[in-house]
Structure 1
Amino acid sequence: MANKPDDPAIFETKKQYTHPPGILVSDHYIQPYGYSCYRAQGTKDWLIIYTLSGKGRIHNGASGYLSCTAGTLTVVSPGTAQDYFTEQGHVWDKMWAHFIPRLPWMDWIPSSNTDGPIFQLHIDKESSRRAIESAFSRVISYRLYEDSMLRDELTLNALEEVILLVASQHQSKKELDSRVQEVLNIISRDYMDHILIEDLGKRVSLSPSRLSHLFKEQVGDSIMETLMKYRLKQAEPLLQYTLRPITEIALAVGFHSPDYFSRQFSNHFGVSPSNYRKKYREASSMESVQ
């Protein structure tokens, strides 16, 4: 893990990383009025801030400043100017992390929902707040874990939990159509099976064309694109953590053609499955000896 949150780019595009994903730096700050941070060019990593109590302000481009209050989660994308401070008369109690995301996270990290470049979400449910606070606390505490390889993996897993919780909260606020949600549930449960839009339509009482249009409108990707991405996400940890042959992994996640799996994996991740596995192991070996 790096020590400098304003270090330059760690990745280039959504599909091609030049550095393994990880937490660059994270901490828990309780800062009174007078605390501020300003980075005109932003950073080339992501910044996530969760406010526990008090009040901060963060600049959101031409739209002005956003307030960061208890239960507010703020995500700043790479290259976005970072200008934030504790509000006068307040103490800002926040947890934060600069990080390089794992590739699948890019489908979960929400885009801006404000009039500027910043994403911000207020978590209303107390149970959801506790879940996010617990996961974020583990992001910070795992940095003290002695085994460096396990430390980095545990930290990433904890942050992934935060990202998923935020994505879930954001999605619920969008109030997905119950039939679209049912299709998403089917995909997550039966992704390894042969899935046809016609069959999905029958299960949710919609014509294939109406279901396809509604799903694309609400999710952003088509049903087949979503299924493809989900299958590839399931293949990623199998390549990382097992020695199973690539042909076997392809079949296990729902691809009936290993060659087709390799092409789709390469298109999505920017490298072939075998090279992805090789690069991941090389990066893990380098981190374990540091």
Structure 2
Amino acid sequence: MAENPNYSAIQAADTQYTHPAGILVSDYYSEPYGYTCYRPEGTKDWLIMYTLSGKGSIYNGNGEYLACTERMLTIVSPGTPQDYFMEVGYTWEKLWAHFLPRLNWMDWLPSSNTQGPVFQLKIEDDNTSLAIESAFRRVLSYRLYRDVLLRDELTLNALEEIILLVASQNLRKKELDPRISEVLDMLAENYMEEHAVEDLAAKVCLSPSRLSHLFKQQVGDSIIETLIKYRLNQAEKLIKYTVRPITEIALAVGFNTPDYFTKKFTGYFGSNPSNYRKQQRDRVN
């Protein structure tokens, strides 16, 4: 097997902590048996692959090889040994990208589900499969159009769509309690409003203590932590894409005081709202 193929992602990823979020390299492959890739140290970026047809195999980082078949989406985290190849008698058709995630994607990027650091998810739903393929192809097309304004933002938005689709499908695979799903929907649709645990519990016919325990167990965050994340993610978009005052944005997404909003935003995105807005403007210019 060829060790460390010359992909620019490997070198670019060495600046992971200063390099802005984005696609480092992406492409469409349709390769016959004989193609291999072997990077024993992995890369410092993330790798996402979506198999369109054929069959390949990838090392899961813990002594096993996983099949990559039609509609299989695979995510490899930084530092994971990368060893993958086409199976005998098959042509492996896939879309892939090496990328550095935006900070808010870290809550959406799934954890391993394969007894190793690699994540895999079979996309069963036809509409989701088409949406993922379409978003991947937009990632590729935006990177070709050098003269398009906000090209990097368009590319990131297309990749973010993939990440969100995968996160959504992953939640369904976990078979959330329908009452928890209902609460999540209420929080997502009405993130700017105040939500008392007692009121939410009454709507799904659970006691407040049982709802709190079950929600934390299945979602990983408490109800209030989840609500704050919904608010912060919406605020981030308003800060990035509008010129509305920071104080106005804070109140619009549900924070009662600008100081509390600034504290939470800074902790979540690593920069206060004003500096974050300036950083995003500087990137575009």
Structure 1 residue aligned with 2:4: none
Match of 1:11 in 2: 16
Query: Percent sequence identity over matched residues?
Result: 64
Aligned residue in 1 for 2:263: 263
Report the equivalent of 1:105.
105
Give deviations 1:248-278, integer Å, cap 9, x for gaps: 1100110011000001111111111111111
How far the C-alpha of 1:210 sits from its partner, in A, is: 0.5
Q: Which stretch of the first structure deviates more once superposed, 128-137 or 246-255?
A: 128-137
Residue 232 of structure 1 and its aligned partner are, at CA, apart by 0.4
For the 8 Å contact 1:216–1:222, the answer to whether it is kept is: yes
Partner of 2:185: 185
Secondary structure at the counterpart of residue 150 of structure 2:
helix
Look up the SS of the partner of 2:247 in the other structure: helix
| Within-5 A mapping of 1:20-169 | 20-169=20-169
The alignment partner of 1:271 has SS state of coil
User: Helix, strand or coil: the match of 1:62?
Assistant: coil
Q: Secondary structure at the match of 1:61?
A: coil
* Structure 1 residue 125, shift from structure 2 partner: 2.2
Question: Counterpart of 2:228 in structure 1: which amino acid?
Answer: M
- Contact 1:5 1:98 (C-alpha < 8 Å) held by counterparts: yes
**Amino acid aligned to 2:114:** T
Give the residue type in structure 2 aligned to 1:247: T
C-alpha contact (below 8 Å) 1:21/1:102 kept by paired residues: yes
- Residue 9 of structure 1, CA deviation: 3.4
Q: CA deviation at 1:10?
A: 4.1
Contact 2:74–2:120, Cα closer than 8 Å, also in 1: yes
Alpha-carbon contact 2:32-2:92 (below 8 Å) kept? yes
One-letter amino acid of the structure 2 residue matched with residue 5 of structure 1: A
Structure 2: state its 5+ residue gaps: 1-6
- Aligned residue for 1:137, secondary structure, equals helix
1:63–1:115: 8 Å Cα contact kept in structure 2? no
- What corresponds to 2:281 in structure 1? 281
Structure-2 separation of matches of 1:5 and 1:156: 16
Aligned-partner Cα distance in 1 for 2:47–2:257: 39
Return the alpha-carbon distance in structure 1 between the equivalents of residues 168 and 251 of structure 2: 29
| CA gap 1:10/1:237 in 2 versus in 1, 3 angstroms | farther
Q: What is the TM-score with the length of structure 2 in the denominator?
A: 0.94
Could you tell me whether the CA contact under 8 Å between 2:55 and 2:68 is conserved in 1? yes
Q: Distance in 1 between matches of 2:280 and 2:230?
A: 20
Question: After the TM superposition, which of the residue ranges 60-69 and 73-82 deviates more from structure 2?
Answer: 60-69
Instruction: State the AA in 1 paired with 2:54.
Output: G
Q: Output aligned runs, 1:228-239, within 5 Å.
A: 228-239=228-239
Deviates more, 1:69-78 or 1:146-155: 146-155
CA distance in 2, matches of 1:206, 1:10: 48
State the alpha-carbon separation in 1 of the partners of residues 151 and 66 from structure 2: 34
Which of 3-12 and 164-173 deviates more?
Answer: 3-12
Contact 1:35 1:85 in 2 (8 A): yes
Aligned partner letter, 1:93:
E
How high is the TM-score relative to the length of structure 1? 0.92
Report the secondary structure of 2:9's partner residue.
coil
Secondary structure, aligned partner of 2:160: helix
Are the equivalent residues in 2 in contact too, given 1:41–1:80 (CA < 8 A)? Answer: yes
Contact 1:59 1:66 in 2 (8 A): yes
Return the offset for 1:223: 0.3
Query: Which amino acid in the other structure matches residue 120 of structure 1?
Result: Q
